[in-house]
Structure 1
Amino acid sequence: MDQPSQASAMPQDGAVAVDATAPTGVRLNGNANSNGATTGAVPAPANGISADEIALYDRQIRLWGIQAQEKIRSANVLLITMKGLANEIAKNLVLAGIGSLTVVDHEVVTEVDQGAQFLLASPESPIGKNRAEAASEQIRKLNPRVAVHVDQSDIRHKGPSYFAAYDIVIATDLDPDTLNIINTATRLMSKPLYATGTHGLYGFIFNDLIEHDYVIQRDMGNVPTEIKPETRTRSVIGFQTKKENGKTIEMVTKRELYSTWFLASDAAALPEEFTKSPRRLKAVTPALSCLRALWDFVQVFGHVPGHNREDLQQFTRLATAKHGALGLPSNTLRSEFLRSFLQNLGSEIAPVTAILGAQLAQDVINVLGHTQQPIQNMVIFDGNTMESTMYPLHPEGLLGAQLLSANAGLGVPMPNGVDMGAMGAMPDLSAMGAMPDMANMAGLPDMTGMAGMSGMPDMTGMGAAGPGGVMTDEMLQQAAMYAPVDMNNMPPTDGTS
């Protein structure tokens, strides 16, 4: 890609646009719009952003202000695993002008990777090269002002102190155990974490910002602003006003509190605004139940569900149990959806990675600039409906009260008695065994040559799942009749009995 022009007054294609303003109400030369944002020429500050950077980032500075851009410009971001979704995130953050991007990935490029990863474009074949290194050349070309670093080691072998140097950690396409350990480390280092992943038409974004303050600007209303809780996780902690072009602009500081991946991915329930509304419960995507079932399945068995009757039955039991635990109507988890979800496992579809990558990058920019309300705390994308819905997932009872306290949960015991203060290097999870290569499973066609798709299985059949390689409605209906699986009686994964 071409190097961005320093004289350009427009941001680069693909830069994330955020409907936000500077957190401290920086006034630019020009008129204020209805949201308190200003338009017109942008003066260069005495120190900080240079004139050519103002010209390059002019349009986005008009949206979120110089001070927010300065915070973005100084940010050090860690991006873990360079696959299709990470390609989109890297592109958006680099074009927005972050300070540095460190990409960590110990895997090498395969033919499957080329289906949905545009940063692998190169005159020479990248096959066999480290994924992070292979993508770094194109990342640097997007914006030479951003320092791009490559770490080819395994993130699972890093200790908590490794994360201390970064302002935000973004983990993509990792197994749930690794995400849990990384989240423990980021909490110990007081660093915000984003976790995200896709499976074909389905995907998620999770964030644990621990405790995050942000400022919104708005026209002064008739109802006075009060310092008080607004929701279970959000409170107004301060406000001030200013006069601008004859209007009174109010700058309100709010605080959001967050839960850990361990709790949000399984133990946390839907909030009352969902559980008390049959209409909203019916509208909850079954992808939430299926993703929770998938995370449990991987933790118990060490691999994604295969195309065989036993895995199908186990996954269906888990999905049915998760669906019921969330209080969702049983008729919203249909056999057609289960089939579609299982058929999409292990694949990447470029439009889906583009949507989730842009949404996550936009939220990261908001968080870095302390503008606008961030994601709270789980977003589920369902490609069947093309909807990306946010679900605030937090535990109930005493644990929830402790976690969502003013101390942001730093004193809450971690799962299985993990002592965060005594935590050393991360345990080696490589012994879990690699997930199966979905592109090479028996009975699945090789679709790596299709534009924008990677490892996409046959959407009309499920390999060896049933007669003729088709997963039938009868199989799904029979599997759904099983009682919810008892996780305490699951077979051990360490070979013991």
Structure 2
Amino acid sequence: MIDMVEKEDNIISEEEAAQYDRQIRLWGLDAQKRLRGSRVLLVGLGGLGAEVAKNLILAGVKGLTLLDHEQVTEESRRAQFLIPVDSLGQNRAQASLERAQFLNPMVEVKADTDRVESKPDEFFLQFDAVCLTGCSRDLMVRVDQLCANKKIKVFCGDVFGYHGYMFSDLGKEYHYVEEKPKIVKATEETNDGPEAKKAKVDPNETTMVKKTASFCSLKEALEVDWTSEKAKASLKRTPADYFLLQVLLKFRTDKGRDPHPASFAEDSRLLRQIRDDVLDGLGVSTDLLADDFVSYCFSEMAPVCAVVGGVLGQEIVKALSQRDAPHRNFFFFDGLKGSGVVDYFGCK
């Protein structure tokens, strides 16, 4: 059964109906009501975070909390469009607040300048969905496990140079509806032969089909036993970006930051060393990531942020509205393959 949780003030007003007219026509009034009753936590206001914030605010969620303790730098100011040019040195969440709120006054947008690591478990439980960007592996696993127990939807994402990814965990039993063409059954009175008696698809009519999907946790997705026969069989269809993500998350854990252009030579050497250690530890060949991978994973590139942020924002909207089939569980983007080239990796 589709969860139709009614919250106190998710009734669509005339003003909201006008604002969201196109969306209501696209995915229906009930889906928009679910969005209107949802509160989302977005961690990290880098280039990817700004894209996700924009998409969620325009979609019309109830509230969006922007959580980021970092200060605006020249790099972050170039990477995202919500930060004014004169905000150097200010907190990124606070600096992004005014422009984010201006996108849609009907959405309650808040800025939180605390470190996400300092937040108690109870903080995350007040939201319907949590989106983590720029976070450590340990923190993402912690929040995912915590929210899974309370059936709170969790999303993770990052952009590293030409590469980007998103991960979603909607729980072991996620319900949604999907619009399908209506099947018209032949009537008993039909006497025009066997073909006329067959069920036919009516392109002018649709019906809503209830479906269920199951998601694995982030911990399970990152700790696949690649020495098992089942995993070995799926290795050829697993994008190299899955293993690149493992390397970059290990770099983030070890250094407390992402690879930076100012220390390109040193970080490149360390990335190759981490690649060898991580892939050896996973039981796969280091040839999965050629030595030149280090040339394409520095900084947040705005076009990649736009693509990955569009997909990530769309998946959050679909999950909150419970409309249309979700991705399971990873989405990877490789800008070197050309615009719009994507790879999927689903864990079960």
- Tell me the TM-score range normalised by the shorter chain: 0.7 to 0.9
C-alpha change, 1:268 and 1:81, in structure 2 (3 Å) is farther
Match of 1:252 in 2: 209
Q: Which moved more, 1:352-361 or 1:285-294?
A: 285-294
Q: Please state how far the C-alpha of 1:295 moved relative to its aligned partner.
A: 2.2
Query: Partners in 2 of 1:251 and 1:320 — Cα distance?
Result: 44
**Rounded Cα–Cα distance in structure 2 between residues aligned with 1:50 and 1:302:** 46
**1:316 counterpart (268, 275, 289):** 275
Q: CA deviation at 1:52?
A: 2.5
* Partner Cα separation in structure 2 for residue 191 and residue 283 of structure 1: 30
Change (3 A) 1:246 1:350: closer
- Measure, in 2, the Cα distance between the counterparts of 1:197 and 1:88: 12
Work out whether 1:374 is the aligned partner of 2:326: yes
Letter in 2 for 1:170: C
Instruction: Using the TM superposition, give the Cα deviation of residue 217 of structure 1 relative to its aligned residue in structure 2, in angstroms.
Output: 2.2
User: Which of the residues 78, 96, 111 maps onto 1:135?
Assistant: 96
Unaligned runs of 5+ in 2: 4-9, 186-201
Find the residue that maps to 2:87 and give its secondary structure.
coil
CA contact (8 A) 2:225 2:231 kept: no
Deviations along 1:202-227, one digit per CA (max 9) or x if unpaired, are 1110111113100112124489xxxx
Deviations 1:255-298 (A, max 9, x none): 11222212212326699999657xxx556432221211222344
Match of 1:182 in 2: 143
Match of 1:102, SS state, is: strand
Relative to structure 1, the CA distance from residue 304 to residue 115 in structure 2 (aligned partners, 3 Å threshold; closer, same or farther) is closer
Whole-Å separation in 2 of the counterparts to 1:276 and 1:222:
41
Q: Corresponding residue for 2:247?
A: 293
Deviates more, 1:65-74 or 1:249-258: 249-258
Match of 1:161 among 108, 119, 122: 122
Provide the rounded CA distance (Å) in 1 between the counterparts of 2:45 and 2:289: 33
1:379 aligned partner, one-letter code: F
Percent of aligned pairs sharing the same letter: 32
Partner of 1:408: none
**Cα distance between partner residues in 2 of 1:100 and 1:364:** 13
1:205 maps onto 2:166 in alignment? yes
Match of 1:217 among 179, 187, 205: 179
TM-score for both structures, normalised by structure 1: 0.58
TM-score normalised over the length of structure 2: 0.81
1 CA distance for matches of 2:87 and 2:257? 27
Q: CA deviation at 1:310?
A: 5.8
Alignment match of 1:263 (pick from 213, 216, 220)? 220
Matched-pair contact (CA < 8 Å) for 2:239–2:345: no
What is the CA–CA distance in structure 2 between the aligned matches of 1:284 and 1:248, rounded to whole Å?
38
Letter in 1 for 2:21: D
The alpha-carbon distance between structure 1 residues 246 and 110, as it changes in their structure 2 partners (threshold 3 A), is closer
SS in structure 2 of the partner of residue 120 of structure 1: coil
The 1-side partners of 2:168 and 2:143 are apart by 12
Choose 302-311 or 213-222, whichever is displaced more.
302-311
Secondary structure in 2 matching 1:118: coil
Change beyond 3 A, Cα 1:286–1:218: same
> Does residue 363 of the first structure (1) align with residue 344 of the second (2)?
no
How far the C-alpha of 1:132 sits from its partner, in A, is 0.4
Q: Do the aligned partners of 2:226 and 2:232 also contact (CA within 8 Å) in 1?
A: no
Give the structure with the larger helix fraction: 2
1:73 aligns with 2:36: yes
- Root-mean-square deviation (CA, aligned residues, Å) is 3.0
Q: Secondary structure at the match of 1:139?
A: helix
Q: Deviations over 1:408-459 (max 9, x none)?
A: xxxxxxxxxxxxxxxxxxxxxxxxxxxxxxxxxxxxxxxxxxxxxxxxxxxx
Larger radius of gyration: 1
Question: What is the identity, as a one-letter code, of the residue corresponding to 1:315?
Answer: I
How far the C-alpha of 1:247 sits from its partner, in A, is 7.1
Tell me the SS of whatever aligns to 1:165.
coil
1:372-398 Cα distance to aligned partner (Å, 9 max, x none): 11110111111111422221124xxxx
